[in-house]
Amino acid sequence: MSIFRQLGVEPIINACGTVTRLGGAPMPTPVLDAFAQAAAESVPLERLQAAASRQIANVTGADAGLVTCGAAAALTLGTAAILARHNLARIEKLPCTDGFPNEMIIAREQRSGYDHSVRAAGATLVEVGFNEIIANAGVRRTEVWEYEAAITHQTAGIVYVHAHDSCPGLSEIVAMAHEHDLPVLVDAAGELPPRSNLKDIPTTGTDLVCFSGGKAIHGPQSTGILCGRRDLVSSAALQMLDMDDHLELWDPPDELFDPSRVTGIPRHGIGRGLKVSKEQIVALLTALDLFASGEFDRQLIEYRRILNTVADGLSTAKANCRMLEPLTQDRWPLLEITVDSAALGRSAMEVCRALRGGSPPVYVGHAGLHEGRLQINPVCLTAAVETELTRRLLEELS
Ligand SMILES: *Cc1c(COP(=O)(O)O)cnc(C)c1O
């Protein structure tokens, strides 16, 4: 019996993707094995994070890296690093920032619920630019001069949310920020694949980058990566790790810590609540290696086969299926199902609700519901569920 059913929780068919609400990505066997092995022994976490730093640096081209408990946590830790650096008094004070620069500049069009993680460290967001295209009131995106005009003595850095069509380009923002001696923190949580982004984003010269470990990397759901400048990653590590030790005994690994930078040991920092376990770290590193080596590309053919099977099974449904091809070769397609609401007598929203309420519950991609579209993302699907999935879709679309 399903371990979830024993708890009275009904497992679902996840056709929505690696979303957090539905438990992230499936972990491959080597990742689960690594998790189990790591659970059997103890290690000092700062040593393990130093090893993680070496491996992340190797894969990303960044100077250093830290395994965090998600990209959202990486945003909080990255911001805390930018605000407090190695100043023990500031580390102690966060999220209170009285008396030191705390403004992070962000394009208005890049704001989202995830920037709460930046604010949580104590930063105040200063918005620049407009959202004219969405407002249907203009043709221009945010421009570099707008960021530059917002810089004051209170500015601590810039937050930049990476998308394939982010504008202005990251390297332009980095060049401008560095002229003003300001760091750039990049949210690239969902920007993998393409696999090339793993190196391309950190090697723009940006100061810090956040990736999710529980999305396409297929690591534990509550893992992420913060990588970039060694001094900033080091500050983030100091603010996350357990600091209950004696200064006389503290022997931190030099890849991650430079004791000459601090005059003592900070107490537990703002990141103490964002701890990540040794099992999670080891499992994430295993997944990262598999992802970086292209191991997951083998699944692309199977993903496409599943989507084609579902589409074939819906040939009589009151809906139209269309394959949405990916932007890059190492990404998977999505199956878009446009509901013929007039013929069916139900909206896409109602179909989506009925799918969730049925047996087994089916969760589909819901970004296009208001335009009458459901999406099938194959990443969390297997051949074992394709028949059930097709049957439930056909039932609700007939
Ligand atoms: C998923 C996501 C996050 C959060 O990532 P977690 O690893 O779930 O914490 C942050 N920003 C963006 C843009 C995301 O898509």
Q: Tell me: the pLDDT tens digits for 211-232?
A: 999 999 999 999 999 999 999 9
With cut-offs at 50, 70 and 90, classify the pLDDT of residue 257: confident
pLDDT in tens, 302-356: 999 999 999 999 999 999 999 999 999 999 999 999 999 999 999 999 999 999 9
Nearest Cα neighbor of 221 from 160, 287, 163, 161 is: 287
Separation of CA 290 and ligand 1 centre (Å): 21
Q: How confident is the model at residue 251 (pLDDT cuts 50, 70, 90)?
A: confident
Structural tokens at position 284: 């994430």
Q: In a 10 Å sphere around its CB, with 0-12 CB exposed, 13-18 middle and 19+ buried, how is residue 145 labelled?
A: exposed
Report CA torsion sign: 364, 367, 368, 369. positive
pLDDT recorded at residue 113? 97
Beta carbon of 219 within 6 Å of any ligand 1 atom: no
CA-closest candidate to residue 69, choices 194, 196, 226, 207:
226
Instruction: Quote the tokens at residue 282.
Output: 């080891």
pLDDT of residue 306: 98
Tokens of 57: 């640096």
- The reply to whether ligand 1 has any atom less than 6 angstroms from the CB of 19 is no
For a pLDDT cut of 90, what percent of the chain falls above it? Answer: 94
Q: Is 22 in the pocket of ligand 1 (CB under 6 A)?
A: no
Q: How close is the Cα of 119 to the center of ligand 1, in Å?
A: 15
Q: Quick one: pLDDT band at residue 258, thresholds 50, 70, 90?
A: confident
User: Structural domains in the chain?
Assistant: 3-21+296-396 (3.90.1150.110), 42-293 (3.40.640.10)
Residues 6+ apart with CB under 8 A from 341: 347, 348, 372
The side-by-side arrangement of strands in the sheet containing 319-324 is 319-324, 334-339, 373-376
How far apart CA 398 and CA 198 sit, in angstroms, is 43
**How confident is the model over 354-381, as a mean pLDDT?**
97
Spacing, Cα 210 to ligand 1 middle (Å): 9
Mean pLDDT along residues 292-298: 94
- The confidence band for 1, taking pLDDT boundaries of 50, 70 and 90, is confident
Distance 215 CA to ligand 1 centre (A): 9
Output the pLDDT for position 203: 96
Q: Ligand 1 within 6 A of 114 CB?
A: yes
Which of 187, 191, 201, 379 is the pocket-test mutation for ligand 1 (most atoms within 8 Å of CB)? Answer: 187
Could you report the per-residue pLDDT of 126-148, keeping only the tens digit for each?
Answer: 999 999 999 999 999 999 999 99
Decide: helix, strand or coil at residue 314. Answer: coil
Q: If you measure from the C-alpha of residue 214 to the centroid of ligand 1, how many angstroms do you get, rounded to a whole number?
A: 9
Average pLDDT over residues 75-83: 98
Residues in the chain, how many? 398
How large is the average pLDDT for residues 285-289?
98
Q: What's residue 262's pLDDT? A: 80
Alpha-carbon gap, residue 356 to 15, rounded angstroms = 11
In the reported structure, the alpha carbon of residue 190 is separated from the centroid of ligand 1 by a whole-number distance in angstroms of 6
Q: What is the DSSP string of 225-237?
A: EEEE-HHHHHHHH
Whether omega for the bond prior to residue 360 falls within 30 degrees of 0, making it cis, is yes
Place of tokens 């139900």: 346
For residue 264, what pLDDT is reported?
86
Distance (angstroms) between ligand 1 centre and the Cα of 114 equals 7
Hey, whose CA ends up nearest to atom 5 of ligand 1?
71
Average pLDDT in the chain: 96
For residue 382, the CA-to-ligand 1 centroid distance in Å is 24
Q: With a 6 A CB cut-off, is 212 part of the ligand 1 pocket? A: yes
In this predicted structure, the answer to whether residue 259 has a pLDDT above a threshold of 80 is no
Q: What is the pLDDT of residue 109?
A: 97
What per-residue confidence (pLDDT) applies to 261?
82
Instruction: Give the percent of the chain with pLDDT over 70.
Output: 100
Q: How far is CA 319 from CA 13, 41, 219, 293, in A?
A: 20, 54, 35, 39
Pocket test for ligand 1, best of 114, 221, 274 (most atoms within 8 A of CB): 114
CB 380 within 8 Å of CB 18 = yes
What is the C-alpha separation between 156 and 273, in angstroms, rounded? 23
78-87, 244-253, 296-305, 365-374: segment of lowest average pLDDT? 244-253
Tell me the pLDDT tens digit for each residue of 152-205: 999 999 999 999 999 999 999 999 999 999 999 999 999 999 999 999 999 999
Q: What predicted TM-score, i.e. pTM, was given to this entire model?
A: 0.97
For residue 189 and ligand 1, the question of a CB distance below 6 A is answered with: yes
| Amino acid at residue number 78 | G
pLDDT band for 260, please (50, 70, 90 cuts): confident
What is residue 274's DSSP assignment?
A: G
90 near 103, Cβ under 8 Å?
no
- Exposure string of 194-233, with b = 16+ CB inside 10 Å and e = fewer, is bbebbebbbebebbbbbbbbbbbbbbbbbbbbbbbbbbbb
Residue 263 is predicted with a pLDDT of 80
